Amino acid sequence: MNFELTEEQQSVKKVVRKFVDKEIIPYIQEWDRQGQFQPHILKRLAELQLMGVCIPEEYGGVGMDYNTLAIVCEELERGDTAYRTAVSVHTGLNSMTLLQWGTEEQKRKYLVPQAKGTKIGAFGLTEPNAGSDVAAMKSTARRVGDHYILNGSKTWISLCDYADHFLIFAKTDHDLGSKGITAFIVERTFEGVESKAIKGKLGIRAGNTGEVFLTDVKVPAANRLGEEGEGFKISMSALDSGRFTVAAGAVGLIEASLEASLKYCHERSTFGKEIGRHQLVQQMIAKMTANLEISRLLVFKAGTLKNQGKRNTKETSLAKWISCNAANEAANDAVQIHGAYGYSDEYPVERFLRNSKAPVIYEGTREIHTMMQGEYALGYRQDKELRKKLPAWPFEKASVH
C-alpha cells in the first residue's frame, strides 16, 4: 500500500485548489445568495482539462486514474458543492457510464466531446414517485421501427438546463419491473425535450437542479445504451461512479469545515483564551480531523479497486455513507464552533451545513447504504460480474476504431 499522492496527482490538486481559491471562493457567497449557477465555471473546468480527467485520451480525456477524479471532486467541494456536483454528474454518472457501456460509435459521438468539455452530460433516473425505488418509474419507451418514442418526466436532475446530453432511463416493458428498464442517450435538441429548474432549495443554491420533461421524444435505436432491459444494471453501475465522486466531495466539505473552524478558533477568544483552548471545542475539531482521514482513505480504497478493474459497489457504498454523514456532522459542528456567527452567511459554515444535507439523501440515502452494508455483512447481498466493466487503469487502447 502506498498512501502518497503521485507527482501528477499533487499537480492536479494544486491546479484545482488554485482555481477554487481564485475563481469560486471569492464569489460563491453571492452566487449562493442569489441562487445563480455560473456556466462559465464549466468552461473554465474544460479549459483546465478537468471534465474528462479520468477518461482515456483516445476518447478526448486526460487519461489519469480514478483517484485523480476523487482529488478533483474533493478540491471543488472545498469551494462549493454545486461545482463538484456538476463534475459528479457530467463525469461520474454520464461519461464514465458511456465509457463502460457505450458502443464505439456512441463513445466517438458523445463521450469525446463530453470528455473535452465542449458538451455537457446529465443523468435522468429519479422521478417524482421513484427515488430509492427505481423500479417504480413511470417513464416509457416504445420501439417504433428504428426509433424509440419516450414519454415521462425526471426530477432532481442536476445541470437540467445546461446539459447537451442526458442519460435517460425508461421502461420498455412495465410487466418486468426493474428488468424492463432500458437506458437511452437523449440530446437536448430532440423535439419534445424540455427542462425547468427547481427553486427554493435548502442548499446547493448555486447549482442548477430541476425537472426534465419528455413528450413523444423520438430517439434513434442507435442511442440505446446497452440492451433492452439492461437499464437497471446500467443505472446501478453508474451510481458506483457517481457515489464515488459524491464521497470524494464530502471529504472536501469536511476539510472546508475544518479549515474554517481552525481559523475561527484562533481568532475568537472567550473567558480570557482562544476558544480552541476549550476542551469541548477541541473534541469537535478532533472528530473532524479523524473523519477527514477516515473518509479520504475509504474513498481512495474504492478508487484503487476501480483502477484495478474490480467490482467496488460495497466499498463505494461504505465510502459514500460514512463520508457524507461525516461531512454533515463536520458542518454542523463548524456552525456550533462559530456560535451565533455560524448562523449568518457572514461566514461560510452555514452554507456548508445547508449543502451537506443533500448528499446524505441523493444517490442512495443514508438508510439505503446502511441496509446495504448490513446485507453485505450478513451474506444476503453479493455482487455478480457485469456484462461490461469500467476499464481498469492504466487504460489500454481500444481494439476497434
Do 206 and 325 lie in a common domain?
no
367 is catalytic: no
* Residue 2, in any domain of the structure: no
Q: What is the pLDDT along the chain (401 residues), one digit of tens a residue?
A: 889 999 999 999 999 999 999 999 999 999 999 999 999 999 999 999 999 999 999 999 999 999 999 999 999 999 999 999 999 999 999 999 999 999 999 999 999 999 999 999 999 999 999 999 999 999 999 999 999 999 999 999 999 999 999 999 999 999 999 999 999 999 999 999 999 999 999 999 999 999 999 999 999 999 999 999 999 999 999 999 999 999 999 999 999 999 999 999 999 999 999 999 999 999 999 999 999 999 999 999 999 999 999 999 999 999 999 999 999 999 999 999 999 999 999 999 999 999 999 999 999 999 999 999 999 999 999 999 999 999 999 998 765 44
Q: The domain spanning residue 139 has which CATH number?
A: 2.40.110.10
The answer to whether 159 and 212 have CB atoms below 8 angstroms apart is no
The answer to whether 28 and 22 have CB atoms below 8 angstroms apart is no
Q: The domain spanning residue 108 has which CATH number?
A: 1.10.540.10
Q: Which of 30, 363, 385, 396 is catalytic?
A: 363
Hey, is 157 helix, strand or coil? strand
Where among 120, 154, 176 does a domain terminate?
Answer: 120
Q: What count of residues does the chain have?
A: 401
Residue 55, H or E segment: none
**pTM exceeding 0.75:** yes
* Residue 393, in any domain of the structure: no
Do 152 and 208 lie in a common domain?
yes
Do 23 and 113 lie in a common domain?
yes
Do 95 and 127 lie in a common domain?
no
Q: Residues with Cβ < 8 Å from 89, sequence gap 6 or more?
A: 121, 122, 123, 158, 159, 242
Give dist(CA 217, CA 229) in Å, integer.
19
* pLDDT at 33 (0 to 100): 97
Phi, psi of 128 (to 5 degrees): -55, -35
* pLDDT at 399 (0 to 100): 52
The answer to whether 351 and 345 have CB atoms below 8 angstroms apart is yes
Which residues constitute the domain of residue 160?
Answer: 123-231
Domain count, the chain: 3
Q: Residues with Cβ < 8 Å from 165, sequence gap 6 or more?
A: 94, 110, 114, 119, 120, 121, 122, 185, 186, 187, 188
